[in-house]
Structure 1
Amino acid sequence: MTAVLNNGVTGASLVSDELFNRLVTRIVTREGLDRPEAEAVMADALAFLKACSVPHGRPLVPSAKVDIGWHTFILDTLEYERFCWNLAGRFLHHVPTDPSEGEDGGEDQAAALARTVAAIHSTGLTLHPELWERCAGDCEAKDCRAKDCSQCHAGCSDRPRHGAA
């Protein structure tokens, strides 16, 4: 896998090696990804959560692959809650977007992903750019998990609906 070179530090540095390996193993087992790809997914999910810990004007959104890591981590509720409070001083909510709500302010998914990647880069963490690319509209592609190929189901963000903190 290729990585954008910042300082060479990935999101994996935000948790213990033991927790990171446990989460990666779950991704390999449950999602059928090979270990290097699962490690990239989990590292970028953690980097995404680091970016979410800082206030932004609009919600940040994960790519479909990175959302796998977020889902995997959030299911380990005790570890996830501890991580959120240590990192952000608050719980980082995972908020699915209902189809009736439409896109966030009319922003298309490519723009939302680009904005999210920029926010992650501002943390100084290294990303795997191939995990943040759209599938060029072929939603029958193996890697697509969403209608628009960019987020889970109808969409996910890091902020509760209706402006709640």
Structure 2
Amino acid sequence: MSTSVATETRTGRSLVTGIEFDMLAAFCADEYGLERCVADRIIDQALALVFVMGSTGQGDTLAPSQQVDPGWHTLILHTGWYADWCEKSFGYFLHHQPNSKVRTRGLMTTVADRIRSAGFEVDDRLWGTAAECNAPTCCGDGPCC
């Protein structure tokens, strides 16, 4: 007889205080014209992504999906908060180095799998398709801009 132990997953939201999450989600909703419930999901996934990127040192091999990209932009637009959070979370400032050319369906699957492997809940609806640039989140870093 084998015994299985349930492994609880965590959320990106759990990486910040409730006040910080509300600040980020409200900004994301307002800045990108999103319903607040959608912005909540996006910020949750952006926090998990950036945490995995920073804690594994693999920030240059991962990228957000089109849907999650506004979340990362929201984080970095709060530069003082973001710098402090990076330092506290993984010991260094994780720079945003956009590269839309690497956003493929395969990469989005890999990114979602890495986030899941790190113990985070993954909102597959935000990672399920290859990303394409979309204004205003396009950084001018790829052929689509």
Aligned-partner Cα distance in 2 for 1:152–1:114: 21
Gaps of 5+ in 2: 1-6
Aligned to 1:120: 115
Gaps of 5+ in 1: 1-5, 136-143, 156-165
Figure out how many residues of one structure are paired with residues of the other and give that number.
Answer: 132
Q: Deviations over 1:23-71 (max 9, x none)?
A: 1101111111111111000000000011102134961110011110100
Aligned to 1:63: 65
Q: Which runs of 4+ in 1 moved over 6 A?
A: none
Q: CA 1:72–1:114 in 2, change beyond 3 Å: closer, same or farther?
A: same
* 1:120 shift after superposition: 0.6
* 1:152 shift after superposition: 4.1
Aligned-partner Cα distance in 2 for 1:56–1:95: 12
Say yes or no: does 1:93 pair with 2:88. Answer: no
* 1:113 shift after superposition: 1.1
Question: Is this contact kept in 2: 1:12–1:42, CA < 8 A?
Answer: yes
Aligned-partner Cα distance in 2 for 1:55–1:30: 29
Question: Is this contact kept in 1: 2:60–2:97, CA < 8 A?
Answer: no
Q: CA 1:89–1:120 in 2, change beyond 3 Å: closer, same or farther?
A: same
Aligned-partner Cα distance in 2 for 1:12–1:48: 11
Opposite residue 109 of structure 2, the aligned amino acid is A
TM-score, length of structure 1 as denominator length: 0.71
**Matched position secondary structure for 2:109:** helix
RMSD across aligned positions (CA): 2.4
What is the aligned-residue identity percentage?
32
Aligned-partner Cα distance in 2 for 1:50–1:117: 13
Deviates more, 1:9-18 or 1:53-62: 53-62
Aligned to 2:26: 25
